[in-house]
Amino acid sequence: MRQISLVALAASLAGTGLAHAENTDAHETIVVTGTRVALAAERLPLRVDVLDRERIELEGITSLNEALQRFPGLSVVQSGALGATSSLFTRGTNAKHTLVLFDGIRLNDASTPAGQFDAGQDILGDIERVEIARGPLSALYGSDAIGGVINLIPRLGGEEAVSPWLDISTGSFNSLRMSAGASGSVDRFSYGISAEHFQTDGFNVTPARMALSGNERDGGEVTTLTFNGAYDLTNGFTLTGLFRHRESASAFDTFSGGPGFSQRADDPDLEVSRYDQTVWRTGIDWQRADGGFASTVRFGEVITDRESRNGLQVTDTYSARRTFAEWLNEWRPGLSGFSEPVIAFGLQLERDSIRNDTAFENPISRAEGHVGGYASITAGLGEAFDVTASARIDDFEGFDTETTWAVGGVFTLPGTPAQLFARYGTAFKAPTLSERFASSAFTTPNPDLRPETATSWEIGARSAFDLGRDNFATLSLSYFETGIENLIENVFDFTTFTGTNQNVGRADISGWELAGTLSLGATLQLDADYANVDAINAVTGTQLLRRPRHAWSAGARWTPVDALSLAARYQRTGSRRDVTYDDGGFFVSGNAPVAGYDLVHVSGQWRFHEAITAYATVTNALDETYEQPAAFAGAPRAVMVGLRARY
C-alpha cells in the first residue's frame, strides 16, 4: 500500500526520493521529500536519509555536524570544536556543491568565497528532523544542488495545545547545553518556539604531535532562537511565519607560528568572534477544499554577518543579505491513463548582496539578482511503473540563463516489494560574487566566469522484507556516476604574479552505496550503511582531497524495557588524501595520503518519571587520536549527561 508523508505543505520539503527508514517500528510512516510535493516513498527514484527527533535524542546528537557524520557518502570535515568551520563533501562533490535549506529556505552563505554552507554553526534543539537528499537536484532548486540537498525541518504544531520541553546537559571540556521551548496547536493556530545555548571550552585543535602545540583550548558557543507558526484563516487560506536567529563564535589556531612564521602552532588570540545568521519568512497558503490544488506565496530574507579577530583587532568582516520571494504550486489532477499524477510548478526570485573587508583582499561590495522557474511531474504508468521528470530555468543578472532537467523511474517487480529505479539529471553551481569580483595585489577579478555544470546518473534496487513481521528488514543498493565541467580554479600567472579564477577544472566521480536495517523483535534494531566513492580530478588524474574511498557506519538500538533505551554506533572513515604537515608543523604536501580512523559512540536514556528522562552520551568512546582534516586534531573522548523534561 502506498504511504503519504504527513506534512503540512509540500513546498516546505527538500529533495526528491525515498526516505531510508531507520526506525523500523511498523507504526512509523516513512517520510518522503518529493519533487516539492508529498508523495508515496516507493514512487520516487532517489535516496533520502532522514534523522528524526527520536533518533537525535536517543543518540545524543547535538550539532548538525554530528548528525551528518553518521551517514557514509557525506564526508564532514570540521577544523575544531563547536562553531569551527566545517566543509561537507556529498557523494564526492566539492564542499560548495551541497545546497542546505532551513524549511526550504536557501542557507548557503553568499559572503563566503565559494558560497558554501558551514555546517559547524548549527545545533539541533529547534529541529524536528534532518532530511538528506542525494544526487543532482538543480532541476528543482537551482544553483548549488550538484551533490545533494539537506533540509532542516523545524518543530511545528502537535496534538496538544502546549507541549513544553526543557533539556539541560553538561560534561567534558566544561561543556554546557540548555534548550527550552514549546510546540502545539490551539484552535486554528499551530506553532513551535525554542531557545538553545551550547558552550564548551573545547580542546586544542593543533595536534599534540606538532612541536608548537601547547595546552591552549579552542572552544566555541552557539545560541539559537526560533519561532515557526501557521494560522488557519478559513476558506482554505493559512498565514505562515518563520523566524530564526543564530549567533556563534569559536577559537582557532594559526599556520603562521614559529620564528619563520610558517609553522602550525597554538594561538590564543585568533577567533571567529561573531558568526550571526537571521532567517525570516512570511507568506500565505491556499488549498482547495478537496486537496487537489495548493498554492503558496511568501517572501523573506537571510542575513549573515561574520567577523574574525586577532586579539582586539578585527581582521576580516563578511556580510551577506539574500532577499527572496516565491510562488509555489501543487496540482493533483485526474488524468486518464495515469495513476495518481502530481504536478508541481513555481517561480522564485532572489537577490544576493555582499560587503566583505578582509586582511588579504580589497574590500568588495556587490549585489545581483536572479529569477528561476521550475516544473515537475510524477505519474504512474500502470500499477508497477512510476515516472518522475522535472525541469528548471534560472536567469541570472550577471551571466546567461542556465537550464537543468532530470528524469527517472521506479519499477516494482510484480507480486513482490522489490523495486528497481534509475535517474539521470543535470545540475549547476553559479559563480559567486567573490569568485567573480574579489581583487587584491595578487588577485585579478574575472566577471566572465561561467557556472560549473554537472551530469549524473544513478541506478539501484531496494526492498523491504516482512518475513512474518512488519518491516523485519530493508535493503537498498545504488550505483552513481557524476561528471563536473567548468570547475572554477585559481590560475596563477608567474609573469604578473597574480592569480585569476578560471573555468578550467573537471571532475569524474563514481561510487556505490549499500544500506540496510534489521529489526529483531520489538526491542532490538540494527542498521548498517556503506559508501564507496571514487572522486578524481579529471585534469590531473589524482584523487580529490578529503573524500575517503571507503566509509562505514553501523548502529544498534536496544530497548529492554519501555523506560530504558541504549544505542551504540561505529563509524569508519577510510584513508583519503589531504594537505599534510609534519611533526614540526611545516607544510609537506598538497596531496598526500592520510590514514583512516574509527569512532565509537554510545548513549542511553532512562525515563524514571512520566515527564523526566535522564540521559548520557559518550562520543569517541575509545579516545581515538585522529585528524579531520589533516593538521587539525579530532575531538577526543567526551561525556555528556543531562535531564530532559517534557510535559
Whether the per-residue pLDDT at 20 is higher than 60: the answer is: no
Q: Which helix (H) or strand (E) holds 436?
A: helix 433-437
| pLDDT digit string, tens, across residues 249-275 | 999 999 999 999 999 999 999 999 999
Is the Cβ–Cβ distance between 621 and 602 less than 8 Å? yes
Helix boundaries (H) for 211-290: none
Whether the per-residue pLDDT at 39 is higher than 90: the answer is: no
Whether the per-residue pLDDT at 8 is higher than 80: the answer is: no
Q: For the stretch 6-35, what's the b/e string if a residue is b when 16 or more beta carbons lie within 10 angstroms of its beta carbon?
A: ebbbbbbbbbbbbbbbbbbeeeeebbbbbb
Main-chain phi, psi angles of 87, to 5 degrees: -125, 150
> Closest Cα to residue 520, out of 462, 463, 471, 565?
471
3-state secondary structure labels for all residues of 186-199 = ECCEEEEEEEEEEE
Looking up cell 556516476 gives: 481
- Side-chain-side CA neighbours of residue 208 (13 Å): 7
* pLDDT at 493 (0 to 100): 87
Q: For the ranges 21-25, 410-414, 508-512, which has the lowest average pLDDT? A: 21-25
Looking up cell 504544531 gives: 157
Average pLDDT over residues 491-520: 94
Q: Which helix (H) or strand (E) holds 613?
A: strand 612-619
> Higher model confidence: residue 348 or residue 291?
348
| pLDDT digit string, tens, across residues 482-494 | 999 999 999 998 8
Average pLDDT over residues 343-356: 96
Whether the per-residue pLDDT at 588 is higher than 90: the answer is: yes
pLDDT band at 42; cut points 50, 70, 90: confident
Q: Which helix (H) or strand (E) holds 75?
A: strand 74-78
Is the Cβ–Cβ distance between 38 and 67 less than 8 Å? no
3-state secondary structure labels for all residues of 9-50 = CHHHCCCCEEEECCCCCCCCCCCCECCCCCCCHHHCCCEEEE
Strand partners, 499: 443, 492
Percentage above 90 pLDDT, the chain: 85
* pLDDT at 506 (0 to 100): 98
> Closest Cα to residue 467, out of 417, 404, 429, 425?
417
| pLDDT digit string, tens, across residues 52-109 | 999 999 999 999 999 999 999 999 999 999 999 999 999 999 999 999 999 999 999 9
In this prediction the pTM is 0.93
CA 142/CA 396 separation, integer angstroms: 11
* pLDDT at 348 (0 to 100): 97
| pLDDT digit string, tens, across residues 368-401 | 999 999 999 999 988 899 999 999 999 999 888 9
CA 412/CA 124 separation, integer angstroms: 37
CA 16/CA 185 separation, integer angstroms: 29
CA 250/CA 406 separation, integer angstroms: 40
pLDDT band at 471; cut points 50, 70, 90: low
Percentage above 70 pLDDT, the chain: 94
Residues ≥6 apart with Cβ < 8 Å to 57: 605, 615, 644
> Could you give the 3-state DSSP secondary structure of residue 56?
helix
pLDDT band at 519; cut points 50, 70, 90: very high
| pLDDT digit string, tens, across residues 556-572 | 999 999 999 999 999 99
CA 32/CA 583 separation, integer angstroms: 48
pLDDT band at 466; cut points 50, 70, 90: confident
Looking up cell 574574525 gives: 308
| pLDDT digit string, tens, across residues 107-136 | 999 999 999 999 999 999 999 989 899 999
* pLDDT at 83 (0 to 100): 92
CA 596/CA 87 separation, integer angstroms: 18
Residues ≥6 apart with Cβ < 8 Å to 508: 481, 482, 483, 536, 538
Length of the chain: 647
Q: Are strands 597-609 and 564-573 parallel, antiparallel or unpaired?
A: antiparallel
* pLDDT at 33 (0 to 100): 57
Q: Is 448 exposed, middle or buried (0-12, 13-18, 19+ CB in 10 A)?
A: exposed
* pLDDT at 337 (0 to 100): 78
CA 224/CA 243 separation, integer angstroms: 11
CA 202/CA 194 separation, integer angstroms: 25
Whether the per-residue pLDDT at 303 is higher than 80: the answer is: yes
pLDDT band at 24; cut points 50, 70, 90: very low
DSSP 173: G
> Angle at Cα 377 formed by Cα 373 and Cα 378, nearest 5°?
150
> What is the overall mean pLDDT for the chain?
91
pLDDT band at 3; cut points 50, 70, 90: very low
Is the Cβ–Cβ distance between 135 and 425 less than 8 Å? yes
* pLDDT at 22 (0 to 100): 41
> Angle at Cα 279 formed by Cα 273 and Cα 282, nearest 5°?
165
pLDDT band at 496; cut points 50, 70, 90: confident
pLDDT band at 447; cut points 50, 70, 90: very high
Strand partners, 611: none
Whether the per-residue pLDDT at 198 is higher than 80: the answer is: yes
Is the Cβ–Cβ distance between 440 and 501 less than 8 Å? no
Whether the per-residue pLDDT at 30 is higher than 70: the answer is: no
